[in-house]
Chain A
Amino acid sequence: MTPPALSIDAAVTGELGPLEAADNRAFGFWLYIMSDLVLFAALFATYAVLGHNYAGGPTGRDLFHLRYVFGETLLLLVSSAAFGLAMLAGARGGRTRVLIWLAVTFVLGLAFVAMEFNEFHHLILDGHGPQRSAFLSSYFTLVGTHGTHVAFGLLWIVVMAGQVAFKGLTAPVRSRLMRLSIFWHLLDIVWVGVFTVVYLMGVI
């Protein structure tokens, strides 16, 4: 009995089959996400140190509207769950359903970014921009970095929807969708930290 030629080639050349390649890429992307978490840890540490230095300006209690933030939180959470449904549809090979759920994910994510943009806009208009105090500098940096991540995630969703529509659910497209799902779910997990540490702890 000789092993199949393909596996010998793979062992010699180091090339992987589509299944191992997809798993390896998902793990590689996971490692990037871990480094991204370290970035957020640095921003959380900065906020924890500077978050009470108001320089005589407004505090979190003056600026944050918790019902508004609760709405933002629900949008991002539903959008995260909707991406899960897109992945489930993908596992069953339902291209149209994948596109529908990606569209739902996108609209909810866009609404989240729009609400955050609106919040920043009003803060800056009222003279409570990042230059007002160390608290507001660290607030805009932390929350803005998360918002930028979500905005890039939205761009990525558009690209992937295009690939699903025009290329179909091929192995490479599925593998990319898988990595996008890791990115999107992790952004919701980071938001749990943001709304707890920044908004809730800023008001109590």
Chain B
Amino acid sequence: VPTPPVSGSDADKGSLKSYAAGFIFSVGLTTVAFALVLQGGALSRRTVLFGILAAAVAQVLVQLRCFLHLGTGASARWNLLTLVFTLLIMLLFVGGTLWIMSDLNARMM
């Protein structure tokens, strides 16, 4: 007996198209990031670092959008809001730690 779909939840907004797009973009961005590091000295270290960080941010955004269907729609609004708040906390956490520890490190030298 087929059960009626639980409509309104975020899972139903996924389509084959969005999963396929998310997958293809993710494979592409992963390959670019690894290729940048494995290409062996043709590019400067700074360029490679910038490239892999940009690819990582892009891939996170792609997966949030295509796999988790995060958007600005009514049902996903609270998910988005809490994620943005969490990102702020993470930024304070990581940024603050690095700042304090590098400062301490510099003073101990």
Residue from B5, B10, B63, B86 in contact with A192 in the complex, judged by beta carbons closer than 8 Å:
B63
CB atoms of A204 and B48 under 8 A apart? yes
CB atoms of A26 and B86 under 8 A apart? no
Number of interface residues of B (CB under 8 A): 50
Q: Which of A119-127, A142-150, A180-188 has 4 or more CB atoms under 8 Å from chain B?
A: A180-188
Which chain B residues border A66 with CB–CB below 8 Å? 34, 37-38
Name the CB-closest residue of B to A90. B11
CB atoms of A23 and B75 under 8 A apart? yes
Name the CB-closest residue of A to B96. A45
CB atoms of A204 and B37 under 8 A apart? yes
CA distance A193 to B75 in the complex (A): 27
Which chain A residues border B48 with CB–CB below 8 Å? 204
CB atoms of A41 and B90 under 8 A apart? yes
Residue from B3, B16, B82 in contact with A30 in the complex, judged by beta carbons closer than 8 Å:
B82
Provide the main secondary structure of the chain A interface: helix
CA distance A22 to B4 in the complex (A): 14
CA distance A44 to B95 in the complex (A): 11
Q: A70 with B8: in contact, given A31-B82, A49-B98, A168-B3 (CB under 8 Å)?
A: no
Residue from A18, A45, A171, A200 in contact with B97 in the complex, judged by beta carbons closer than 8 Å:
A45
CA distance A38 to B94 in the complex (A): 10
Residue from B14, B49, B83, B101 in contact with A88 in the complex, judged by beta carbons closer than 8 Å:
B14
Does A103 reach chain B (CB closer than 8 Å)? no
Min CB distance A185 to B, Å, is 4
CA distance A142 to B52 in the complex (A): 20
CB atoms of A38 and B33 under 8 A apart? no
CB atoms of A204 and B94 under 8 A apart? no
Interface string of B50-80 (1 = CB under 8 A from A): 0011011001100110011000000100110
Residues of A at the B interface (CB closer than 8 Å) are 18-19, 22-23, 26-27, 30-31, 34, 37-38, 41-42, 44-46, 48-49, 66-67, 69-70, 73-74, 77-78, 80-81, 84-85, 87-88, 90-93, 168-171, 174-175, 177-178, 181-182, 185-186, 188-189, 192-193, 195-196, 200-201, 203-204
